[in-house]
Copies of this chain bind each other. A is one copy, B any other.
């Protein structure tokens, strides 16, 4: 029995010849639960689609993570691993995927109640890790990443049925406006921009470096920006802070020509009640190091 017969496609994309802006049919915050966030923080996340919380980790904790990562990325087997993504042209490490399975120190961080607890609180259930990675945006030559909604890809390519997932980015370095920080369009998470174009086989091999399919059209972006009053949010702040953003928040980042590199740990938590089915608009599943199918709750 395929997912098509069981789970309705509430967010069709990559099927129609023209893009459209649809309404989100799912809540942003699932119920009213206790956890690390207070009521104001929950309300802000619901309204804006993202929330920054400074100083979640101490300086010592960040230093320990940086040391661990320096050692880890220096290993030949890690550099050669298929879960390691290198920067086009420069061959420098840009991302380490499935870090919750390959590194015990990072696995502990990802299960930390200060972080995973936020996901449980907002999604109103147990959560599992849909994807984890460490991102290194190098100084001088960090490349831009164009606007996208993660959910559009997770739905079409991974078979994630509903909007009941979120990302948490843990900063390991300083994020300034000038070193290519995460940018978001506030409120965009309540709209769903459908994309045009059919997903090619093995799309993930190129889309992790520079996304082409699953990219919203310029007119829709201008509409979202206009609805946001022309404001683009830039997630700046120090190491140890976290940024929580909804699975459907429109986001991207500019290049980093500055001498200041940017690194973060990035975790996608999905509700265990929203486990993946078959892709809604792709010829086959993406690999599990990008889209996990082990739905065991984070403890």
Contact = CB atoms under 8 A, between A and B. Distances in A.
Given A218-B259, A252-B257, A259-B221, A232 B147 contact: no
Interface in A206-222: 218, 221-222
Interface string A174-185: 001110100100
A183 B259 CA distance: 12
A180 B254 contact: yes
Contacts of A221: 140, 259
Nearest to A180: B254
The CB with the most chain B CB atoms within 10 A, among A176, A177, A230, A260, is that of: A177
A261 to B, nearest CB: 11
A183 B232 contact: no
Nearest to A185: B259
Interface in A199-254: 218, 221-222, 225, 230, 232, 234, 252-254
A139 to B, nearest CB: 7
A243 to B, nearest CB: 16
A255 B258 contact: no
Contact of A257 (B176, B230, B253): B253
A238 B215 CA distance: 30
A254 B257 contact: yes
A144 interface: yes
Interface in A28-53: none
A256 interface: yes
A221 B141 CA distance: 13
A259 B223 CA distance: 10
A146 interface: yes
A254 B256 contact: yes
A238 to B, nearest CB: 13
Nearest to A219: B259
A254 B183 contact: no
A176 B233 CA distance: 11
A252 B176 CA distance: 16
Interface in A266-288: none
Nearest to A140: B218
Contacts of A225: 259-260
Contacts of A257: 144-147, 183, 252-254
25 contacts: A139-B218, A140-B146, A140-B218, A140-B221, A144-B144, A144-B255, A144-B257, A146-B257, A147-B257, A176-B232, A177-B177, A177-B178, A177-B234, A178-B183, A178-B232, A178-B234, A178-B254, A183-B257, A183-B258, A222-B259, A232-B260, A254-B254, A254-B256, A254-B257, A254-B258
Top 6 nearest A-B pairs (CB, nearest first) are A177-B177, A255-B255, A144-B255, A254-B254, A254-B255, A178-B232
